[in-house]
A and B are shown apart, each in its own frame.
Chain A
Amino acid sequence: QKEVEQNSGPLSVPEGAIASLNCTYSDRVSQSFFWYRQYSGKSPELIMSIYSNGDKEDGRFTAQLNKASQYVSLLIRDSQPSDSATYLCAVIGSGGGADGLTFGKGTHLIIQP
Chain B
Amino acid sequence: DADVTQTPRNRITKTGKRIMLECSQTKGHDRMYWYRQDPGLGLRLIYYSFDVKDINKGEISDGYSVSRQAQAKFSLSLESAIPNQTALYFCATIGGVGDNEQFFGPGTRLTVL
A100 partner residues in chain B, CB cutoff 8 A: 33, 35, 45, 48, 58, 94
A98 partner residues in chain B, CB cutoff 8 A: 50
* Contacts across chains A and B counted by CB atoms under 8 Å: 58
B-contact bits for A77-113, CB 8 A (1 contact / 0 none): 0000000000010101000111111111110000000
Taking a contact as CB atoms closer than 8 A, the residue among A32, A90, A106 that contacts B98 in the complex is A32
A44 partner residues in chain B, CB cutoff 8 A: 43, 90, 104
B-contact bits for A25-57, CB 8 A (1 contact / 0 none): 000000010100000011111100101000000
* A46 pairs with B100, CB closer than 8 A: yes
Q: How near does chain A come to B101, taking the closest CB pair, in angstroms?
A: 9
Taking the complex as formed, is B31 at the interface, i.e. its CB lies under 8 A from any CB of chain A? yes
* A43 pairs with B104, CB closer than 8 A: yes
Within 8 A of A (CB), among B1-53: 31, 33, 35, 40-45, 48, 50
Q: How near does chain A come to B34, taking the closest CB pair, in angstroms?
A: 9
- List residues of chain B with CB under 8 Å of any chain A CB: 31, 33, 35, 40-45, 48, 50, 56, 58, 88, 90, 94, 98-100, 102, 104-107, 109
